[in-house]
Structure 1
Amino acid sequence: MPSQQITILDPSLRDGSHAIGHSLTPESVARYVQLIDAAGVDIAEVGHGLGLGASSAQVGFSKFSDACLNRAALDAAKRIKICNFVIPGFATVERDIAPAIEQGISVFRFGTHCTEADLSKRHIQFVRKQGATAMTSLIMSHMVSAETLLDQALKLQDYGASSVTLMDSAGAYSMSETTDKISTLVEGLNIDVGFHGHNNLSLSVANSVIAAKCGAKIVDGTARGFGAGAGNTPIETMVAALHKEQFSTNVDLMKLLQAGAYAEATFIETLPCITESGVISGFYGICGAFQKHILSASARFGVSVEEICQELSNRKAVAGQEDLIYEIAVNLQKRVANE
């Protein structure tokens, strides 16, 4: 018997951009949106890797402005919804969200650290008042229990969110953890639950299918797994696996494969693969966007990737704290020199 309908959200044009230094062009954005629109993907997330307003020296400048990339995506879209990711603190209502709404963005996904849902209350309520959809996500969700995640998700539901996605930002989820956390949210919420995986432990597709089996109605995937480090859940494999398990989607797999081929030929500089550093990062639960910085700091200061990851884990580092990587590497170098 066919299972429930699954919404497919593609963050290639947002989360994927970490892998290429936020250098996506309007031309690439427009053409990829056209292709995944034709393939039946439901939502495309567009912008800087850390969302609206994040372009900065701290986390990397975007080659093109939020407005420029939004315009390219909106002009190319026929059926597909164009979504902006928002981390409160990087983006503000007046400077970033209101202008995006004026451009025509009608879907926003608000991302907060897994214990800081309250930071998005004002943003969610503003978007709702403007008639736009407020999706939400809990970042680095491997760091806390299922019960804590439910407590945070209930806040988001109360604020007016239409959905809550658990982001396995470090590719650290085991399959049993996916089952536990997704099931807890599905049973405890009255809004849709989603899952966003990374592939450090080679479990992103399996975890996405498990999430769907546990009642998640939204799953994320990127072209060929496009993303930092070991990459995200590869959307083509994920959709194929969901269809094999008799889940319904709006996606034409063959057309989706064509979109992936375009991405690989134009803006994916290196296909993601699971390297030693990727496994270490996933094992210690380190944000996938950190990997380039970790490798750079390791080479520059002569300290091991494992030592950096272990210390980042001890400090419970979260997305946006890239500068902490270099501080840790310097301190580790000094410690070695004093031994």
Structure 2
Amino acid sequence: MKIMDCTLRDGANVVGSGFSEEMTRMITEGLIASGINIIEIGHATGLGSMKNGGKSAPVTDEGYMEAVQPYVERAEIGMFQLARNVDEELIHLAAQKKLSFLRVGANAGDGKSAERAIKCVRDAGLAAKYSMMKAYVLTPDELAEEAALLESYGVQAITIMDSAGFMFPTQVAEYTEKMVAAVSVPVGFHGHSNLGMAQANAIAAARAGAGFVDCGLMGMARSAGNITTEGIIAAFQRQGACIEYDLYRLLTFIDDKLIPAMAAYGFHAPVTPLDLVLGWSGCHSSFLPLFREAAQEKHVDLYRLVVEVSAIDQKMPTRALIWSTAEKLAG
């Protein structure tokens, strides 16, 4: 299972239409340092949006490409491209700036309108991903049929987008299963949290054969937010997947850098890293005072201590167990 982080694109809706260059670099560095190397950046509504009358962002399309130049050899970095805003000049600029992909997007049922955009992306030498927005407006069979058409145009990965957070896990599973059977390219899922189903839907998509999921740090995205990057990695790691990602390092980045930076925009994490660790490990919050005391006294990472102790005793961890585990972590 691969993680495609969209914080720097969909998450830009939280701050307007785009992050600053400084925030773009900071978040890119935090993701790459944690092993997340498929990253979508740029204007919230994609490449060429401002040129076509979209909301202004603090950075131009070329400015976003420039901001990630130190990282293009270390990760697959790309941008979103609404089919209706296709611009050959900008697409070739993305290729010149060594971006890895453009993800063409159109509403489900409008795939034929995206053929030119897909061809332009492929002709420029970029990978052509595709987002089927508002996937639920078609039946699973209709969506799978359109996916096959898109593959014939040259699309190399397809995302089922639950754009309004409308879908249930059973629906996601059916849509995913039928699409996986209809195409040979990777199928992914992009979920929103309007009904609180985003994480569960991502797990359902994975079980049905999806090869990647979209997500955002702290769930940052339009409306009720996306699948949280840290949350879905934790959930998948509980199931033995996504072990290549350094969740501890990612949570430290969120605590130390991202949460303080986003406070200026009035944004707060719906689930803090600490609360996520409690759920990941099965630790009841009533034990936190003991864990904090031991972590501070022994100078060890609180999150690692909680996880290590909980692997031994989730029900009633003793002071002796917590301190002996802290001593082992301290080396």
TM-score range for the pair, normalised by the shorter chain length: 0.7 to 0.9
Residue matched to 2:4: 9
- Counterpart of 1:90 in structure 2 is 85
| Contact 1:135/1:161 (<8 A) preserved | yes
Residues of 1 paired with 2:66 and 2:252: CA distance? Answer: 23
Amino acid at match of 1:124: I
* Aligned residue runs from structure 1 range 123-134, under 5 A: 123-134=117-128
CA contact (8 A) 1:8 1:249 kept: no
Match of 2:178 in 1: 184
Output the amino acid matched with 2:254: G
Aligned equivalent of 2:60, options 61, 65, 84: 65
2:277 paired residue number: none
> Which residue, out of 165, 168, 178, partners 2:162?
168
Q: Which runs of 5+ in 2 are unaligned?
A: 272-331
The Cα of 1:151 is off from its aligned counterpart by 1.4
2:45 to 44, 50, 54: 50
Distance 1:252 1:272 in 2: 19
The structure-2 alpha-carbon separation of the partners of 1:118 and 1:263, relative to structure 1 and needing over 3 Å to count, comes to: farther
- Counterpart position of 1:302: none
- TM-superposed deviation, 1:76: 3.6
Map of 1:271 onto structure 2:
268
Identity of aligned residues (%): 28
SS in 2 for 1:89: helix
1:139 partner letter: M
Higher relative contact order (CA 8 A, sep 6+): 1
- Distance in structure 1 (CA, Å) of the matches to 2:250 and 2:269: 18
> Whole-Å Cα distance in 2 between the matches of residues 249 and 138 of structure 1?
28
Q: Does 1:141 align with 2:135?
A: yes
Q: Deviations over 1:171-212 (max 9, x none)?
A: 111111111101110111111100011111111111111111
Root mean square deviation of aligned Cα? 1.8
Match of 1:81 in 2: 76
Tell me the TM-score normalised to structure 2 length: 0.77
Work out the CA distance in 2 between the residues paired with 1:26 and 1:243.
32
Counterpart of 2:188 (choices 189, 194, 203) is 194
Partner AA of 2:268 in structure 1? L
- 1:1-339 equivalences in 2 (<5 Å): 6-55=1-50, 59-94=54-89, 96-261=90-255, 262-267=257-262, 269=265, 270-271=267-268
Distance 1:81 1:52 in 2: 17
3-state SS of the aligned residue for 1:216? coil
Amino acid at match of 1:247: A
The alpha-carbon deviation at position 229 of structure 1 amounts to 2.0
**What CA deviation, in whole Å up to 9, does each residue of 1:15-60 have, x standing for no partner?**
0111211241111101111110111112110111110011269542
> What TM-score do the two structures reach when normalised by structure 1?
0.75
How many residues align? The count is 268
Offset of residue 222 of structure 1: 0.4
Equivalent AA in structure 2 for residue 44 of structure 1: I
**Which amino acid in 1 is paired with 2:232?**
M
Tell me if the contact between 1:231 and 1:273 (Cα under 8 Å) persists in the aligned partners. Answer: no
Residues 81-104 of structure 1: CA deviation (Å, up to 9, x unaligned): 11111001223223x211111121
Structure 1 unmatched ranges of 5 or more: 1-5, 275-339
Whole-angstrom distance in 1 between the partners of 2:72 and 2:134:
31
Q: SS at 2:259's partner residue?
A: helix
Question: How far is the alpha carbon of 1:168 from its aligned partner?
Answer: 0.7
SS of 1:118's equivalent? Answer: helix
